[in-house]
Amino acid sequence: MVLAIDIGNTRIKAAVFEDSKPVEIVILNKEKLISDIDFILKQFQKIDTIVVASVGNLEKNTFLTFENKVSVFFISKETKFPFHNLYASPDTLGIDRMVLSAGAVLQFPNQNRLVIDAGTCITYDFIDSKNNYLGGAISPGIRLRYEALHQHTAKLPLLTKKYPENTIGNSTQESIHSGVINGVILEIDGFIEQYKTQYAKFIIILTGGDGDFLAKRLKNTIFANSNFLLESLNQTFQYNQK
């Protein structure tokens, strides 16, 4: 069994895998991370490997404390990935985007893929049918947009995400919801339409903390999977084992 841990910008998410099947998915507490992991290892005593990918600031030493119990596999730029990286600045490509792209290649072979990760940032990653990673885009996520409106203006309130009641907001709060949520939806659909001008066919994978929130509002057909990064972590590890 494998314990996959994704350390993001805002939260730490983990999943226990038996082969390719997730049997437990949890959110870990950063302040109690070691005790949380220790609890999982006691609960699932067949776990023999911890796989970690991080865009956060946690030190590797946090996980090395478990090396007397299990193997610890860190996903890094030196890890083998199942695609050709054609990014002009490969050293700046985030590990999370690389893992998501690896998962897209391994889960959806021989086709063009667009991975959209709607988290703290919204990232777009395109991998063609020949397994060439071409790049994509990065924009602020939903929470960042609400925070920017509040922090960089004198009077606009800080709101939590909510579907707008109407495109035309009839109050300041509804106008903010319309601007943020409709703006994100139109952005994502717009990017997809732009990709369609270059590629006739591709599968769209939507993931991230806001993925399920957005999925039903997008006009394009998508494969929505909020746990796609965790699954991709496990698959990247298995790919390296082979």
Structural contact between residues 228 and 123, judged by C-beta atoms closer than 8 angstroms: no
Q: Which of 119, 123, 120, 118 is nearest to 138 (CA)?
A: 123
Beta bridge partners of 122: 118, 139
- Listing DSSP states for 186-197 in one string gives HHHHHHHHHHHT
Structure tokens at 52: 């970690």
Q: Assign 205 to helix, strand or coil.
A: strand
Is position 189 annotated as part of the catalytic site? no
Structure tokens at 61: 């030493």
What number of helices (H) and strands (E) belong to the chain? 8, 11
Out of 96, 117, 125, 210, which one is annotated catalytic? 96
Beta bridge partners of 54: 7
Structural contact between residues 40 and 17, judged by C-beta atoms closer than 8 angstroms: no
Beta bridge partners of 207: 117
Place of tokens 């314990």: 3
Would you name the residues annotated as active-site residues?
96
